[in-house]
Every structure is written in structure tokens, then in C-alpha cells.
Amino acid sequence: MTSGANRSRAVAFFDIDGTLIPGPSMERRLVRALLYRRAIPGSNFALWPFEFTRLALRGIAHARQVNKIHFRGISVERAYGLVRHVASYSRLAFFPRALDRVIWHASEGHAIALISGTPQVLAEGVAHSLEARLAQQKITATFFVRSTVLQEANGRWTGRTAGEPVFGHSKAHAVRAIASRLDVDLADCYAYGNSIHDRFMLESVGRPVAVNSSWPLRFLARRRSWEIVDWSFTDQRPCSPMASSLHLNNGKGAILG
């Protein structure tokens, strides 16, 4: 997914859940919407622990990312309709300072890349919502989405992923691929993540930012002298010298921190 025509000077890579938006995760929101409509077969929940145990041979974190058996048999067309609901512009609330950062990056001519373990269809919905918010301020940007693709067969999800989930090292691979495609120096790029599993993505760029970080990531960020920010809907303190001092000089608005 891309939009915008100008060559990017840098890329800002964003995790989604816990970084751009608060919990519950986008995947849980979709599951809740499906449950409300009784669209998930009960057998999926019976199979879930068995699938998790099978996948846990490669680690608990891996199993959590790869186990999509709850989506088995779900109509892709129906799911897309629900995604338009849960990720719609009117329903999806971003952390205000996260949105400020996205606006600033776009105004600086940076490409915006969403790198997330959430299913691709949901990540694309988030990107569309961000595009709509930028359009409100007459700002355009180049968007990329690299997220976990769900396997399909006969118009339905199988409960498996199509390839490896975008998680851990895979996030770093996605970062390098996008930077290579745009011919930008990763030293000039930014990355935002909240989990220790995002460290590979953060380590790939010259300007990493730990957002609402778990304690293992916060510890690592302090050791590496990375920027650390805490974004919420209530805290009005400046989250960083960079964000609190940024202003747009093109009449499109100001960065509030």
C-alpha cells in the first residue's frame, strides 16, 4: 500500500498495538466483533490450546503470534467488512502524540511504514485511518504496510499464517527491505515500538524510540541511550525535546508534543 509521489528522505517505522493505539489489540477487536456476531465456530476454541502447544516448540512468543486457529473458516469478505468497522476513521483512536509524530514525519517528507504482527487486513485498515487523518490537514504521505498475512483457501481463512509472522527478527527484515526499496539510509530513519520483541526493528535504524515500553525494552533503551516516551490520552507533559519543539511552518498545524 503506497500513496504520495515524492521520493522519501527517510522512513518512520511504527509498530501499531500499544505504540500508535492503546489496547485492546487490533486482532482482539476483530475477534470481539466476530464473537458478537457469532461468526467464530466453537470448534476453533477447542482446537486453540492444541495448536498453541504444537507451535510452542519454537517458543511461547512465537506461538502467540502464529496461532490464528480462532480465524479458521471465517469468510474473508465478511472479515473485511468488519475491519472497515473496527479500524474506521470514526472509531479508531490514536494516541494524540503518536498522531503528532506521524503528522510531523509526513510533513518532513518521510515515508510512513506500519510494521506489525497484527493481521495484514487490520494493519491496512489502520493505515487508511491514518491517511484520512493526514488528509484532514491537507498532508499526504507514502505509506507502507508489512504485517502478518493470514492464509486463505476458497475465500476463507484457514487458521494458519501465509509464511512467517511479522515478529521479532522479521520486523528488522521488513525495515531493511523498505529502506532498500526507497534507497534511504537507515541511519536517517526512525522506528517506534513498545515491546522487547521490537528491539530488532529499533536496532535497525539510527533513531529508535521506545514508546510505552515494557520494562525489558525500557531497560535496553536506557542502556542504548534510545529516546523513551510515554504516550497516553491524559498526560500533557512534553514527551521529548524533539516533539515538544517541532512546528510546521507550512500552515498545516503545529506539533504539540
User: Domain residue spans in the chain?
Assistant: 11-23+94-245
Model confidence, pTM: 0.85
Catalogue the E-assigned strands of the chain. 11-14, 111-119, 143-148, 150-153, 156-161, 190-193, 207-211, 227-229
**Cβ atoms within 10 A of the Cβ of 140, count?**
14
Q: C-alpha grid cell for residue 70?
A: 480462532
Length of the chain: 257
Rounded percentage of the chain residues whose pLDDT exceeds 90: 70
For the segment 154-208, what is each residue's pLDDT rounded down to a tens digit? Answer: 999 999 999 889 999 999 999 999 999 999 999 999 999 999 999 999 999 999 9
Query: Is pLDDT at 48 greater than 90 in this prediction?
Result: no
Q: What is the pLDDT of residue 7?
A: 58
Q: Are 233 and 97 in contact (CB under 8 A)?
A: no
CA dihedral of residues 167, 15, 230, 95 (deg, nearest 10): -140
Give the pLDDT band (50/70/90) at residue 139.
very high
Q: Prior bond to 24 cis, omega within 30?
A: yes
Query: Is pLDDT at 231 greater than 80 in this prediction?
Result: yes
Q: How far are the Cα atoms of 44, 51, 67, 73, 158 from residue 70, in angstroms, in the given order?
A: 5, 10, 8, 9, 9
Q: What is the pLDDT of residue 2?
A: 52
**What's the CATH number for 11-23+94-245?**
3.40.50.1000
Query: Is pLDDT at 28 greater than 70 in this prediction?
Result: yes
